Chains A and B, each alone.
Chain A
């Protein structure tokens, strides 16, 4: 039985094995990509409830159909100057496994851009970012057409406890 299932899984996964889909969004003129399977929904910006003594990139929490979801401004997270939120500002709600816990969080970005299929091989091409603060968040850089897309590692971007230690 188990062998059987295993085979099936391999077959169905076969097509995707070298191609993953990424949702991309724009921030300060750059295009970033997220694993599309982590994306739950995309919402417009709405007022949040501030969380006391939270780092500046944590804008607050919203009520997402009964669950409390923290909202993170990715610009501030990456140390880019924030801009005022407008009608195009979107919140991408993602579900990520962080330190063995599944967490739902919202990411504020400038605008959602596109969905690309990117081969795994290409995506694995990571430059050496060791000296850079933000480098740890990057999974890879790929070229789509004549644009460059930064693929993010959500688990690292959203691991708040690690960042706070670094700040302290």
Chain B
């Protein structure tokens, strides 16, 4: 009969973390003094369900702590108290604290309660000094830290269930009043033959340590007064901690003998540790199963997406039935037409299904954005800067895997903007700007990519400082002439930081290079644009998903290769007069203001039969790591989305190839890895052959 509650732990934690997120974001929305009831209610509800859940599962450290939080919120909600900035800060801190507590519990570790206790004391202090006349009663009872213990005997009559009452709910409610110790008596339980499932044979004795009065307890049992024997009495002892009720609640059928033992040693245990499961076989088993669930990550999918998938599968089944019916018929002219129609429909169904399955992995970027309001608030307070955070395009969707990996680089960029970008209010006023700086996060789709912009209206990058720093670090030579953009690019080099002081926010000198590397690992790119005194913008470009790529099919001899569309700058016919030969075998094309080295794909991949005359071929200009090269191909074929498959899985890594895919006709085609190809071609830094230092923005047309 005893239910293993541990199977619900994961759900509880998931929901609690969500609740905490909701609390956090609502708290950030709160403007002290102007709070509206709906917001407070949302926060209250979140706190309340965390408290309820943690009580049920025996995590008393969490429920106790949430309780004081809730009391404060309750008073605010009832208009007995107005919320101050101090309160909000305290509440935010407790959200963090709760998160830590829950994490520790999730990992089956002993939670560290020092912070929780400190915060709790602060809350109790606030609650204790409440002086609003109307709330005297409440204030008194909550301020009263000495709690009394009631003994409650609850003996329902057999017909209790038939009246529609559920003792478990009542026990749960009772548990919310304070710390509860439960004993269940099952002496009345008959043999299995005589057992009526709709009759209640159990009775309970509770020891409730609470700050509420007897009336509150009576209220709970109000509805069952006539259907049960209820005796409520106050126990002599006054507990200042919780009895270790946790595991008893889990299996209510605990032996009475054991109970008496427990009772005898239920000397005041600090509330804090009592709930941590005593190490036993069971709990270690639980730990194992929990580890399993931790590694398998889950994804929440909207029911509408699932419904549309089911619809599509339904259509697919119909099409399949139709096709197999045609297959059974004799082949005539008309069946062939029907077959063609059926196949067209199948193609349509498949495409829809593919798109929708991919959409399952897509989540709105607000999942990442949502952590920034808090971050910005905390950092700006620490730095004494006034910052307004604007979030745009929160509903822009991208692949879950990409999202998980982009969040850290983004945090870094935002921190940088706050620390280095935005000025202090004094400086901003001196510069004639609004003392409140703005950081804008903007996300939008652009041709199969997602673009995330992180903009600030701060001082912009200090090119002079970057330049001198780069010279000092030996990254560039003193006589190197660099454009502003090129100087800005330097910040992405390893070991570069311009912060005069190393702060704990940013400026450790590891950073932008890691940011760039992480983003490149996702097949994306990051750029910076900056204007002195106006602000700077970091632009991150990412593919929507890692599983699908927009590709340009190209032909070399009889082979078809795929070049990722994101790296293609332009494709052109070669004007032979602008090609010059550098050294023994390197052809370079002068294209507008740049020299583009020409890479012959057939040469690198060792294919025979390709067109070798430059004027009869096409050049695909690609860019990788800010270096442009031209790839010589025989012909351009279609552009299409391709599903990336691993070549390594059954073979081995191939230089210059990043993966494979299957084309519409079932053939395998290989995807060219641009940076690998450049390495293979032996060009060291193709970009250094630029003719002019000024990079023209219009090249990327």
In the complex the two chains form, what is the Cα distance from A71 to B607 in whole Å? 18
Interfacial residues of chain A within 29-56, with CB under 8 A of chain B in the complex: 47-54
In the complex the two chains form, what is the Cα distance from A61 to B108 in whole Å? 48
The interface stretch among A11-19, A62-70, A147-155 is A62-70
The reply to whether B606 and A51 contact each other, CB–CB distance below 8 Å, is: no
The reply to whether A68 and B668 contact each other, CB–CB distance below 8 Å, is: yes
In the complex the two chains form, what is the Cα distance from A46 to B281 in whole Å? 58
Q: Which residue of A lies closest to B645 (CB)?
A: A68
In the complex the two chains form, what is the Cα distance from A73 to B145 in whole Å? 83
Is B236 engaged at the interface, CB distance under 8 Å to the other chain?
no
A45 to chain B, nearest CB (A): 15
A96 to chain B, nearest CB (A): 10
In the complex the two chains form, what is the Cα distance from A89 to B682 in whole Å? 40
Is A132 engaged at the interface, CB distance under 8 Å to the other chain?
no
B603 to chain A, nearest CB (A): 11
In the complex the two chains form, what is the Cα distance from A68 to B559 in whole Å? 16
In the complex the two chains form, what is the Cα distance from A66 to B647 in whole Å? 12
Q: How many residues of A contact B (CB 8 A)?
A: 23
Question: Which A residues touch B654, using CB under 8 A?
Answer: 51-54
Is B11 engaged at the interface, CB distance under 8 Å to the other chain?
no
Question: Which B residues touch A52, using CB under 8 A?
Answer: 604-607, 654, 656-657, 670
The interface stretch among B208-216, B331-339, B659-667 is B659-667
In the complex the two chains form, what is the Cα distance from A13 to B647 in whole Å? 36
Q: Mark B550-578, 1 if CB is under 8 A from A, else 0.
A: 00000000011000000000000000000
The reply to whether A50 and B667 contact each other, CB–CB distance below 8 Å, is: no
B610 to chain A, nearest CB (A): 12
The reply to whether A49 and B667 contact each other, CB–CB distance below 8 Å, is: yes
In the complex the two chains form, what is the Cα distance from A161 to B652 in whole Å? 8
The reply to whether A53 and B668 contact each other, CB–CB distance below 8 Å, is: no
Is A111 engaged at the interface, CB distance under 8 Å to the other chain?
no
Question: Which B residues touch A48, using CB under 8 A?
Answer: 668
Is B669 engaged at the interface, CB distance under 8 Å to the other chain?
yes
The reply to whether B668 and A63 contact each other, CB–CB distance below 8 Å, is: yes
Is B655 engaged at the interface, CB distance under 8 Å to the other chain?
yes
Interface of B is mostly: loop
Q: How many residues of B contact A (CB 8 A)?
A: 24
The reply to whether A103 and B666 contact each other, CB–CB distance below 8 Å, is: no
In the complex the two chains form, what is the Cα distance from A62 to B668 in whole Å? 6
Q: Which of B605, B645, B650 contacts A53 (CB 8 A)?
A: B605
Question: Which B residues touch A161, using CB under 8 A?
Answer: 652
The reply to whether A68 and B649 contact each other, CB–CB distance below 8 Å, is: yes
Is A105 engaged at the interface, CB distance under 8 Å to the other chain?
yes
In the complex the two chains form, what is the Cα distance from A60 to B606 in whole Å? 13
Q: Which residue of A lies closest to B663 (CB)?
A: A63
Q: Which of B560, B650, B660, B670 contacts A103 (CB 8 A)?
A: B650
A59 to chain B, nearest CB (A): 12
Given A62-B668, A63-B668, A68-B660: A53 and B655 interface contact (C-beta under 8 Å): yes
Q: Mark B591-618, 1 if CB is under 8 A from A, else 0.
A: 0000000000000111100000000000
Interface centre among B646, B668, B669 (most CB of A within 10 A): B668
In the complex the two chains form, what is the Cα distance from A61 to B609 in whole Å? 20
Is A23 engaged at the interface, CB distance under 8 Å to the other chain?
no
Question: Which B residues touch A160, using CB under 8 A?
Answer: 651-652
The reply to whether B668 and A61 contact each other, CB–CB distance below 8 Å, is: yes
The reply to whether B666 and A63 contact each other, CB–CB distance below 8 Å, is: yes
Given A50-B607, A53-B606, A63-B668: A69 and B662 interface contact (C-beta under 8 Å): no
A166 to chain B, nearest CB (A): 15
Is A74 engaged at the interface, CB distance under 8 Å to the other chain?
no
B560 to chain A, nearest CB (A): 8
The reply to whether B645 and A51 contact each other, CB–CB distance below 8 Å, is: no
Given A52-B657, A53-B606, A61-B660: A105 and B668 interface contact (C-beta under 8 Å): no
Is A104 engaged at the interface, CB distance under 8 Å to the other chain?
yes
The reply to whether A51 and B670 contact each other, CB–CB distance below 8 Å, is: yes
Given A51-B670, A52-B604, A52-B605: A61 and B651 interface contact (C-beta under 8 Å): yes
The reply to whether A63 and B667 contact each other, CB–CB distance below 8 Å, is: yes
The reply to whether A66 and B662 contact each other, CB–CB distance below 8 Å, is: yes
Q: Mark A93-123, 1 if CB is under 8 A from B, else 0.
A: 0000000000111000000000000000000
Q: Which residue of B lies closest to A51 (CB)?
A: B654
Which residues of A pack against B, CB within 8 Å? 47-54, 58, 60-63, 66-70, 103-105, 160-161
Which residues of B pack against A, CB within 8 Å? 559-560, 604-607, 645-647, 649-652, 654-657, 660, 662, 666-670
Offer 14 A-B interface pairs, CB within 8 angstroms, sorted by A. A49-B669, A49-B670, A50-B559, A52-B656, A52-B657, A52-B670, A53-B654, A53-B656, A63-B667, A68-B650, A70-B651, A103-B649, A103-B650, A105-B651
Across the A-B interface, the 3 shortest Cβ-Cβ residue pairs: A52-B605, A49-B668, A70-B651
